[in-house]
Amino acid sequence: MIKIAHRGNFNGPDQSTENSPEQVYKAILAGYNAEVDLWVVDQKLYFGHDKPTYLVDPYFIHQNVTKLWLHCKNLEALDFTLSMPKYYQSFWHQEDDFAITSNNYIWTYPGKLVNNKSILVCKDIPSKEILSSNIAGICTPYVGILSLIKLDNQNVY
């Protein structure tokens, strides 16, 4: 199962650090993928949820691209990611039930149906039922504690 730190957070939500390049890098160093909110404004790259907040060096994205899930927040960001090589993992959505990522995963809104191509967004601590379902991955700010959840006397991972 692909484990994705929501906005770089992996030990619970933290609005003061989410989407900061430092927090995203901490998640990657801890062994997780990271979902980040990407903006492109005046040909510059930014991370930030509600607005472009953190100026990001394109090299940071390129250097960590295999671990990043780029949630495009404006048309310019979507255009930028779609012009990149196929290994850039990107998507756009608002509150849609499903969105297709650039590499054909199904980014799935909480509480919606899932299958083996689904990356399920889970804003709370995932239940044992969710973790035992046949999904490709999970995106949660609690990904760091998944190993503490037991499924049939075994750790999740």
- Residue that wins the pLDDT comparison between 57 and 152: 57
pLDDT at 139 over 80: yes
In this prediction the pTM is: 0.92
For residues 132 and 3, give the distance between their C-alpha atoms in angstroms, rounded to a whole number: 14
pLDDT by residue (tens digit) across 22-49?
Answer: 999 999 999 999 999 999 999 999 999 9
Look at strands 89-91 and 137-140 and give their pairing: unpaired
C-alpha 25/C-alpha 156 separation (Å) is 23
What is the DSSP track for 119-145?
A: EEE-SSPPPHHHHTS--SEEEETTGGG
The whole-chain average pLDDT of the chain stands at 92
More confident residue, 152 or 84: 84
What's the one-letter identity of residue 23? Q
Residues 94-136 have pLDDT tens digits of 889 999 999 999 999 998 999 999 999 998 888 888 888 899 9
Q: Report pLDDT for 90.
A: 95
Query: CB atoms < 10 A from the CB of 73, how many?
Result: 22
Tokens (6 digits) for 120: 């399920």
The per-residue pLDDT for 157 is 46
Amino acid 106: pLDDT? 98
